[in-house]
Amino acid sequence: MAYGDGPLLVLAGAGSGKTRMLTHRIAHLIATRRAWPSQILAVTFTNKAAREMRERVESLLDSRDQRVWVATFHSTCVRILRREITQLGYQTSFAIYDQSDSLALVKRVLRSMNIDEKGWPPRSVRSEIDRFKSRGMLPNEVIADGSLHDEQIGQIYRQYQTELRRANALDFGDLILLTVRLFENHPGVLETYRRRWQHILVDEYQDTNPVQYRLLRLLTGDSQNLCVVGDEDQSIYRFREADIRNILDFEKDFPGAKVVRLERNYRSTQAILDAATAVVSNNTERKGKTLYTDREGGEPIRFYEAADERAEAAFVVSELLKSVDAGASLGDSAIFYRTHAQSRPFEEELLKYNVSYVVVGGTRFYDRAEVKDALAYLRVLRNPDDTESLMRIINRPARGIGRTTVERLLMLSEEDGTSLHRAVERARDERLLSGAAAKRVPAFLAVLDRLRDQSAYDDSVATLLAAILEQTGYLRALQQDTSVEAEARLENLQELLSAAEEFERANRAAASQRDASQRDATQSDAAAGPRAEGDPVGELDLDEGPQNLIDLFLEQVTLFAAVDNLTEDDDRLPLMTAHVAKGLEFPTVFLVGVEEGLVPHFASQSDPAALEEERRLCYVGMTRAMDRLYITHATMRRMHGSVRYNPPSRFLAEIPAEFGVGRPRPGRSESFDSPRSSGAGPGEPRVDYSDSQLPADESPGAGTSGATGTRVEHPVFGAGTIVEVSGAGAGTKLRIRFDRAGMKTIVLRYAQLRMLP
DNA sequence: TATGACATCGTTTTT
DNA sequence: CGATGTCATA
C-alpha cells in the first residue's frame, strides 16, 4: 500500500478488502509524514461506511485522534456550508429538506404557477430537478439549452429554488451543488479548504455523480493527491446520476494516475464468485478483472421456483429455519429483494413463525408523520422561515387554523415575497385576520415564541422536544385518542426522545474527547505521537465554530440512512433491497424475486445501459454471500393489485449450470412472453433443468388415486394428513390437515412434500 | 373545519 | 394493493 502522492485509482473487486486498503493508506500517509491527520479527507456515501472507516483508522493509528476527516459527501458539505453559506446569501441556520419536504414544496410551486399536476407529476418534476442538480446544472442552464420540456422544467426549477431560498432551506442536491458554487465563486474560500485537505480519498467512486466529481476536482487542485477506490461492476446509482464514466475514465482525467487492482476476494466461495462473475461479464461497460478466491468449491447455488410470492416466502423461511435448527443465528442470513414492496410476504411468513427480523429501509423511522411533526417544530424554532415545516405544524395538533386561513396567509407571503412566518407575523401585527383565526394565529405564535425562549437558555434537544410535545398540546391530543395507532405514535415519539438523549450523550463524549486531544497536542510532544505536534488543524477546524446542537441533531436525522442503523451483533434477520445491501456481507443470502420485471426491472428493460446496471445489481446481490446463496423467483406475483406472470430473470441463464441446483422446470418460460427468452443464446442451453423440486419417486399422490390418508411432511407446515386430492398432473391440488398449522390447500407441483412412513 | 367515503393512479433503487 | 387526493357531508 505504499503508494505515495499523486492520483491513484484502486479497482477493488467485491470482497477484496477495499476498506482495509483505504484505512491502511490513511495510516501510511500519516506514518510516513506525507500528511497530518487533519490534512486527510476521506469521503464515503453512507454514514455507516464512514463510521466503520473512522473506527478502523483509529485502531490502526492506535489513537483516538479524530482529526482525519471521514464523512459522507453530504455531511462534509453541510459542515462546510454551516461555516460559509452566508457568502451565498443564506443564513447559517438553514434547514435541510429531505425528499418528502422537497416533494411538498414542488407541489406548492406547481400550484402557485398554475401548472396542472396531471401533465407535470410532482414526483417526476422533483426527481428531474434533483437530477439536474446532480449534473451541476442551474435553472438558467436548463432553460437555455433544452427542449421545450426542459425549458418548462427549468422554469419550475427556478421557482422551486426561489422558494427554497425564501425558506432558508437546502435540499440534498443543494448541499453538494452549493458547495461547488461556493468554491467556484469564492476562490479564497476554496484555497482555505485546499490547504486544509492535502490528501483526498474517495470510497465507492463508481457511484459519484458529475457534481460530486466537480467537487473532488476543485478540492484536489494541483496537488492531484486523489485516491479513489471503486468497482465499476458495483455501480448501481445511475438513477441519481452516478456516472460510471468517472471511474472508467479516471486515468484519462488524471494523467499519470497509478492503478492498482485488488482481485483477491476474501469473502465468497469459488462457486458464488464464479457464478457472479459469469453474470457481470456480460456487461460491456467495464474494465474487466479476474477475481479469485482461496475458498475452492463450496456449496452450489440453490435455485428455487415458487408458485407465487407467498410460496417464495414460505420456501425462504423454511430454509432459514432449517439453518437455525442447525445452529446458525438469524443475523447470519439476509433476504435481498429489488423493491421494498416485496418485503411484505416475507414479513408475514416470519411473523407466523415468530422469527425476529428487521426491515432495513422502506419507511424510515424519521419519516413517520408524528416524528416529522415533532422535528418540524424543532426546525421552525431554529429557522422560522422554513415554510414547509411551518405549514406542517400550524394546525397540528388541530388548533382551528384551517385550510382557508393558511391559504390566505400563504397568499400574503407570496404578495410580499416573504416566508410564511413573516406573513403570519404581519397578519398578527396588522390585524389582518378576522373571526376565530384572529385569536388563534397569535396564540400559535405565542407558543412558538415561548418555546424559542426556552431553547435559548436550555440547549438540551431532548428537553426541548419534550417541551414542544407538552406545550403544543401534541401529547395531550394523542393521549386522548384511544386507538392503537395513537398508541404506536406515542411510542414513536418516546423513541425520538430517546434518540435525542442518545445524540446528546454521544455529542458530549465526542466534544470532551476533542478537548482532551487538544490538550495532548499542546502539553506533550513525544507522548502524543507524530500526529499532534505541528498539526496545522487550528487553521480550519470543522468540529469547532458555531455548531448549534439542534441543527446538528436535525442534520443527523435528515441525512440518516436506513443502513446506518444496522449492526453486526443484531440477531435479527435483515430484509433489504440489493441497493441497501451493497457493502455488506452475510454467510447466507437469499436473493429473491429474480424475475423479468423485477431484475431487470420493467423500467430498465428498454435501455441497454440501464440493463447493464440491473445486471450489476444482481452481481452486487450475489457477491454479498459468503458461504451459501439462494436465488428464487415466483411464477405468479401480485403487484399493485393485479397478477403478473414473470419469467425467470434472463440473468439466471447467464449462470453456468454447474454452479447451481434446483433450476426452474422446463416449459415454463416458453409459455410466457419474455423479452429475451432465458435460453443462453447461441450454443447449448446453459440451464440445467434436471434437478426439479420434487423427485418423482417421492411425490405423494402422483399417479395414485389413493393418496388420501397419506401422511406427508411439508417444509413449512410440518407433518400432516392428505384429506382430499383434486385435479391431475401439474395442477393437482391437495387438501392437507396439518398437525400444527391446520387445514391448507397445497398445489402439489410447488410444494416440497415428503412422504412420511 | 374535520371526517369519511370514494376515486384514481402509478407502479425502483437513495444521500 | 395501498397511498394519495377529492368531494360531500355534519
The single-letter DSSP state of residue A725 is: E
Which grid coordinates belong to A327? 445452529
Q: Is A215 helix (H, G, I), strand (E, B) or coil?
A: helix
A99, closest nucleotide (Cα–C1'): B14
Question: Cα dist. A13→A524, A577, A689 in Å?
Answer: 43, 21, 31
Residues 417-446/A with CB within 7 Å of nucleic chain B are 436-437
Protein residue nearest nucleotide B12, by CA to C1': A339
Please state whether strand C lies within 7 Å of residue A368 at its CB atom. no
Task: Indicate yes or no: strand C within 7 A of the C-beta of A107.
Answer: yes
* Nucleotide B8 C1' to residue A641 CA (A): 14
Q: Which CA-bearing residue is nearest the C1' of B13?
A: A579
- Closest to A659 (Cα-Cα) out of A616, A681, A696, A691: A691
Distance A374 CA to C8 C1' (A): 32
Spatial distance between the Cα atoms of A323 and A339, rounded to a whole number of angstroms: 25
A339 touches strand B (CB under 7 A): yes
Which nucleotides of chain B are near protein (any atom < 7 Å from a CB)?
1-3, 9-15
* Whole-number distance in Å between A123 CA and C4 C1': 12
Query: What residue is closest to B11 (Cα–C1')?
Result: A640
Answer whether A655's CB lies under 8 Å from A301's CB.
Answer: yes
Q: Parallel, antiparallel, or unpaired: how do β-strands A169-171 and A95-97 relate?
A: parallel
In eight-state DSSP terms, residue A299 is P
DSSP string, A584-618: --EEEEEE---BTBBTTBGGGTT-HHHHHHHHHHH
Q: Which residue is nearest to nucleotide C5 (CA to C1')?
A: A117
The DSSP code sequence of A260-282 is EEE-B-SSS-HHHHHHHHHHHTT
Whether the CB of A711 is less than 7 Å away from nucleic strand C comes out as no
Q: What is the pLDDT of residue A684?
A: 27
Residue A397 Cβ < 7 Å to strand B: no
Nucleotide closest to A639 measured between CA and C1': C1
Distance A35 CA to C9 C1' (A): 72
Angle between the A369-382 and A549-558 helix axes, to the nearest 10 degrees? 140
Closest CA to A317 of A640, A594, A592: A592
For residue A495, give Cα distances in angstroms to A101, A303, A356, A467: 22, 40, 19, 15
The answer to whether strand B lies under 7 Å from the CB of residue A404 is yes
The identity of residue A192, as a single letter, is T
Q: Which nucleotide is nearest to A640 (CA to C1')?
A: C1
Residues of A that are catalytic = 18-19, 203-204, 234, 624
Query: What pLDDT digit, counting tens, does each position of A735-749 carry?
Result: 777 777 667 666 665
Rounded Cα gap, residues A115 and A702, in angstroms: 63
Q: What's the pLDDT score for residue A685?
A: 29
CB A669 within 8 A of CB A628: no
Residues, chain A, total?
Answer: 757
Q: Quick one: how far is CA A541 from the chain centroid? A: 29
Instruction: State the distance between the two ends of chain A, measured CA to CA, in whole angstroms.
Output: 62
A22 CA to C3 C1' distance (Å): 43
Q: Is the CB of A46 under 7 A from strand B?
A: yes
Nucleic strand B near CB of residue A97 (< 7 Å): no
Buried b (16+ CB within 10 A) or exposed e, A331-363: bbbbbbbbebebbbbbeebbeeeebebebbbbe
Q: Which residues of chain A have pLDDT under 50?
A: 521-532, 665-705, 729-730
Judge if the beta carbon of A45 is closer than 7 A to nucleic acid strand B.
yes
pTM of the model: 0.84
Cell digits of residue A629? 446463496
| DSSP assignment letter at A292 | B
Q: Closest Cα partner for A374 from A495, A485, A505?
A: A495
Edge-to-edge strand list for the sheet holding A258-262? A69-72, A40-44, A199-202, A226-230, A8-12, A258-262
State the nucleotide closest to A581 in CA–C1' terms.
B13
Q: Which nucleotide is nearest to A176 (CA to C1')?
A: B15
Q: Peptide bond before A600: cis, by omega within 30 degrees of 0?
A: yes
Cα distance between residue A466 and residue A494, in whole Å: 9
Is any atom of nucleic acid chain B found less than 7 Å from the CB of residue A365? no
Between residue 674 and residue 693 of chain A, the positions with Cβ below 7 Å from nucleic chain C are: none
Cα angle A597, A655, A575 (rounded to 5 degrees) comes to 55
The CA-CA-CA angle for residues A75, A79, A82, to 5°, reads 130
- State the helix-helix crossing angle for A122-134 and A210-220, rounded to 10 degrees: 30
Residue A721 (CA) to nucleotide B13 (C1'), in angstroms, measures 44
Distance A118 CA to C6 C1' (A): 14
The A 182-211 residues near strand B by Cβ under 7 Å are none
Whether A405 CB is under 7 Å from strand B: yes
Question: Which runs of E-coded beta strand occur in A110-218?
Answer: 169-171, 199-202
How many angstroms is C1' of B1 away from CA of A472? 19
Query: Protein A291 CA to nucleic acid B5 C1', in Å?
Result: 59
CA angle A138, A142, A146 (to 5 degrees): 165
Q: Is the CB of A123 under 7 A from strand B?
A: yes
Interior angle at CA A344, CA A339 and CA A345, nearest 5: 110
Q: Considering only CA atoms, name the residue closest to the C1' of nucleotide B10.
A: A640
CA A107-A72-A382 angle, to 5 degrees, is 55
Say yes or no: Cβ of A601 under 7 A from any atom of strand B. Answer: yes
Protein-covered nucleotides of chain C (CB closer than 7 Å) are 1-2, 5-6
Question: Residue A496 CA to nucleotide B11 C1', Å?
Answer: 32
| CB A131 within 7 Å, strand C | no
d(CA A477, C1' B3) / Å: 16
Q: From residues 624-663 of A, which are strand C contacts by CB within 7 A?
A: 638, 640-641
Per DSSP, the residues of A95-134 read EEE-HHHHHHHHHHHHHHTT--TTTS-HHHHHHHHHHHHH
The answer to whether A98 CB is within 7 Å of strand B is yes
Measure CA to C1' and name the residue nearest B8. Answer: A118
